[in-house]
């Protein structure tokens, strides 16, 4: 077996021992299965995120990219186009005061927790984390509640990878097309009739007379929906799992809820849902004796950089007192996650509330099944029960 087969279910289940082999023996590794280089050391990854002229995002940042995204979204452009899209998107986001996420998060969390406490056995993702991320984000965007479940389906497929199919599963491409068509119609409605929501704010964002085109609004909205719903819900489930696996940390947070914030940072370092993102080499370069040619694809393994002892001592220990400055859970450099502030806030509020009502919980299965995706990693289900 190769040192790191991107499409191996074993690696989905636990990539960390494999990352260690890469970091120590093959820091610039050619993966035959993925047909790309993998950079696994912290410093190399950070350097690559800064050097966009060599490591470009313009050919896509998903390892199995979807048609129509490359070169058209925030995550898939380089400066100066990226600077423009980022400034306009930030202008739209800034109109939503971050505090406005608090009330909907509390409201949805309380309703979900009512049901969970009645039943005492629950599946964390469907019954909690995904309800919150879908509800909060879609409300912010002004998407009608009756469509939420269906939009979530269209989002989940394109961010997952079907490893039984080489390349992209046509079903996922079709779901992304459906999502784009749906959002195109939503944007048209708001162009005709402005409402106070994030899609309208994106359509109206203007800097020095410059505005996003119709297609840019649709694709930026799609990025928010995909990044927001899936990364955030998956991250919350990773945090709940970490606190399950580390009961001492959980009890300390139950006793002192403010500790949820350092626990979030440590979870973003320890096992972020966003494990790897892609770049394309634009000018030949050499690293650790390996020659990367123009056009070669490269995976920046954020999840591995976060376990590099050169940056984080005792990296395989989950320690909520660590306060890991500069972790790569939200990426780094030009493409640092635009939703990081919102993701931290929503997670902190939701998880504090969760632990108030469910201070003790245990897994009802011996083995967790993992979602299979070349960029992301998360459990596909977390069946928990209260004592
Ligand atoms: C805990 C949850 C989240 C995680 C772990 C996460 C992770 C990441 C990472 C690693 C990147 C960098 C991608 C790259 O370098 O190519 C990124 C970019 C991005 N994220 Fe997040 N994200 C999360 C939540 C969100 C939310 C809630 C939103 C929006 C509502 C969002 C919007 C974005 C956008 C727009 C970008 C592209 C930024 C750019 O290219 O300038 N993310 N995210």
Per residue in 134-188, pLDDT (tens digit) is 889 888 888 887 777 777 777 666 555 555 555 566 777 777 788 888 889 888 8
Please report the DSSP string for 361-387 in residue order: -EES-SS--B---SSB--BS--EEE--
Taking residues 310-331, report their average pLDDT.
97
Q: How many residues does the chain have?
A: 387
Ligand 1 atom at minimal distance to the Cα of residue 61: 16
| Each residue's pLDDT tens digit, 217-236 | 998 888 888 877 778 999 99
| C-alpha pair distances (Å), 263 with each of 18, 234, 356 | 25, 16, 16
Determine the structural domain holding residue 34 and report its residue range: 9-385
Ligand 1: centre distance to CA 223 (Å): 9
Whether 248 maps to a domain, the answer reads yes
Question: What would the pLDDT profile of 54-79 be if each residue is shown by its tens digit?
Answer: 999 999 998 877 777 788 888 999 99
Residue of 105, 231, 271 to test ligand 1 pocket, by largest number of atoms within 8 Å of CB: 231
CA 333 to ligand 1: nearest atom: 15
Look at the alpha carbons of 16, 236, 77, 188 in this order and tell me if their dihedral is positive or negative.
Answer: positive
**CATH number of the domain encompassing residue 118:** 1.10.630.10
In this prediction the pTM is 0.93
d(C-alpha 80, C-alpha 199), whole Å: 23
pLDDT band at 97 (very low <50, low <70, confident <90, very high): confident
Contacts of 361 (CB under 8 A, 6+ apart): 244, 384, 385, 386, 387
Answer whether 76 contacts ligand 1 (Cβ < 6 A). Answer: no
pLDDT for residue 156: 66
Say what the pLDDT of residue 164 is.
55
Looking at residue 121, the DSSP 8-state letter turns out to be E
Phi-psi region of 167 (alpha: psi -120 to 50; beta: other; left: phi over 0): left
pLDDT score of 58: 95
Question: What's the CA-to-centroid distance between 89 and ligand 1, angstroms?
Answer: 13
Closest CA to 226 of 296, 155, 278: 155
- Encode 225-264: b = buried (16+ Cβ within 10 Å), e = exposed: bbbbbbbbbbbbbbbbbbbbebeebbeebbeeeebbbbbb
**Total domain count, the chain:** 1
DSSP codes of every residue in 35-53:
TEEEE-SHHHHHHHHH-TT
Does residue 4 belong to any structural domain of this protein?
A: no
Assess if residue 232 is contained within a domain. Answer: yes
Instruction: Flag whether 2 is in a domain.
Output: no
d(CA 261, CA 101): 17
**DSSP structural state of residue 65:** P
Using DSSP, state whether 75 is helix, strand or coil.
helix
Q: Is residue 1 part of a domain?
A: no
């Amino acid at each position: 077996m190769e040192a790191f087969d991107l499409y191996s279910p074993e690696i989905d289940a636990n990539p960390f021992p494999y990352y260690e082999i890469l970091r120590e023996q093959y820091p610039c590794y050619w993966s035959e299965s993925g047909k790309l280089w993998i950079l696994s050391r912290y410093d190399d990854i950070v350097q690559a995120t800064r050097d966009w002229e060599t490591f470009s995002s313009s050919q896509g940042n998903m390892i199995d990219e979807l048609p129509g995204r490359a070169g058209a979204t925030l995550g898939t452009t380089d400066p100066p186009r990226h600077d423009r899209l980022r400034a306009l998107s930030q202008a739209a986001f800034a109109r939503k005061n971050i505090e406005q996420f608090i009330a909907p998060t509390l409201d949805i969390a309380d309703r979900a927790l009512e049901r969970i406490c009645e039943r005492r056995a629950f599946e964390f993702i469907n019954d909690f984390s995904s309800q919150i991320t879908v509800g909060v984000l879609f409300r912010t965007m002004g998407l009608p509640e009756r469509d939420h479940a269906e939009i979530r389906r269209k989002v989940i497929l394109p961010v997952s990878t079907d490893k039984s199919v080489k390349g992209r599963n046509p079903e996922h491409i079709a779901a992304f097309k459906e999502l784009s068509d749906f959002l195109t119609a939503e944007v048209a409605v708001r162009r005709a009739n402005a409402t106070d929501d994030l899609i309208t704010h994106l359509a109206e964002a203007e800097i020095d007379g410059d505005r996003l085109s119709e297609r840019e609004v649709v694709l930026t909205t799609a990025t928010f929906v995909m990044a927001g719903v899936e990364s955030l819900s998956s991250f919350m489930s990773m945090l709940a799992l970490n606190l399950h696996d580390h009961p001492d940390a959980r009890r300390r947070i139950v006793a002192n809820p403010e500790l949820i914030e350092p626990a979030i940072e440590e979870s973003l370092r320890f096992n972020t849902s966003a494990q790897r993102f892609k770049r394309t080499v634009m000018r030949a370069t050499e690293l650790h004796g390996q020659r990367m040619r123009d056009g070669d694809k490269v995976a920046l393994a954020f999840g591995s950089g976060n376990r590099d002892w050169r940056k984080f001592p005792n990296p395989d220990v989950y320690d909520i007192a660590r306060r890991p400055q500069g972790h790569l859970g939200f990426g780094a450099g030009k493409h640092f996650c635009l939703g990081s502030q919102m993701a931290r806030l929503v997670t902190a509020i939701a998880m504090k509330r969760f632990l108030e009502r469910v201070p003790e919980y245990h897994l009802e299965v011996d083995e967790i099944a993992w979602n299979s995706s070349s960029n992301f990693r998360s459990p596909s289900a977390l069946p928990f029960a209260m004592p």
